[in-house]
Amino acid sequence: MQSDQILISVIIPIYNQELYLEDAIQSVLSQDYGFLELILVNDGSTDKSREICYKYIEQYDHIRYYEQTNRGVSAARNSGLSEVNGSYVFFLDGDDRIDRKFLKEALRIAEKNKSDFVAIGEDYCFRSKHIMALPTCAMFLKMEFLRSHPDIRFPNGIQPCEDGLFSHQLLALTNQVALYPEGMYHYRQHDDQNHILINKNTTKVLAQIPEWLEILKGFYLKNSLYKSHALHLALFIEHEPFELRYIRMPFEDPQKSFLFSLIKTFMQQHVMPFLCDNELTELSIPFRFFLTADDHKHFDEFYVNYQCKKTKKIKMQLFFIKLIPISKWRREFRKKVRKNYNKL
């Protein structure tokens, strides 16, 4: 089949996004690749999102619209997946948009590399050696691959981390991953974004993290992956419950104590027995210290001092980069500094 005859499906889950939804839809309609279907899933919106969708489905035959009672973004994406006719699928949030060449280039890369999974965006592709999870904006997926794993879908009732759990499991089951670092996904910043509202509710997020770990335990046990993918799992735990939650969220002291014990116990029981010494060095310095710390206060004291030293080091490196006379060299050194910064 010629590349311009391969159908791409784009799924937009919608919940009260009347202010931005037309921009999202127009960014799909404006793609320089014509063989598309757009699946709009209204997850019980109470604003004018429904009216906006109807305006478009009356004009375009390749746009389909579905409604459901409010069950969350995971249920909306899964509903969309059940309606896909395309060979590839991409998820676009209703308040974001994509560049004109986004889908055509993602398809070209997927077909060229015979990929199950294309990772998109420079911010995610720089970790190409160990991509352990991706947000929906950074994944272009082959439907044949998804259909071969029908038990792996977005976990209902989970948010945040629903996309991380979904992508983490899929990435563990394929080596056919290609990179599209130039892909431009335009992520709109506003105060009503789901992840902002959710992350403010520390109690709700903390209550969900044990559910994340249960999903992971079931997946790794079912597929016998503990030994072969110990580093993959370790990097996910480091990134999601440790970096994004323990480090960045404003937990109170008892909450930090609970999360510290939860993460450390999971790592000791399900990861560390299978992790080789050379794989352990792939983990960041803070996370390695976290795994040996006596308690959360011991770690927090270390981390404050560590961040001060790290910041001073980065500032010094950036100062000397300014003295480099050739702009190309300056850019390369900045990239190297950023990579090193993220490894620390």
Q: pLDDT grade, residue 200 (50/70/90)?
A: confident
Q: What is the C-alpha to C-alpha distance for residues 65 and 40, in angstroms, rounded to an integer? A: 5
| Residue 323: per-residue pLDDT | 63
CA-wise closest residue to 217 among 176, 261, 267: 267
What pLDDT is recorded for position 91?
98
What are the E-state strand segments in 15-153? 36-43, 63-68, 88-91, 97-98, 117-120, 139-142
CB 142 within 8 A of CB 115: yes
Mean pLDDT across 251-265: 98
Of 21-30, 286-295, 312-321, minimum mean pLDDT range: 312-321
The per-residue pLDDT for range 231-249, each reduced to its tens digit, is 999 999 999 999 999 999 9
Confidence of residue 314 (pLDDT cuts 50, 70, 90): low
User: For residue 166, what pLDDT band results from cuts at 50, 70 and 90?
Assistant: very high
DSSP 243: I
- pLDDT of 209 > 80? The answer is yes
pLDDT range class, residue 126, cuts 50, 70, 90: confident
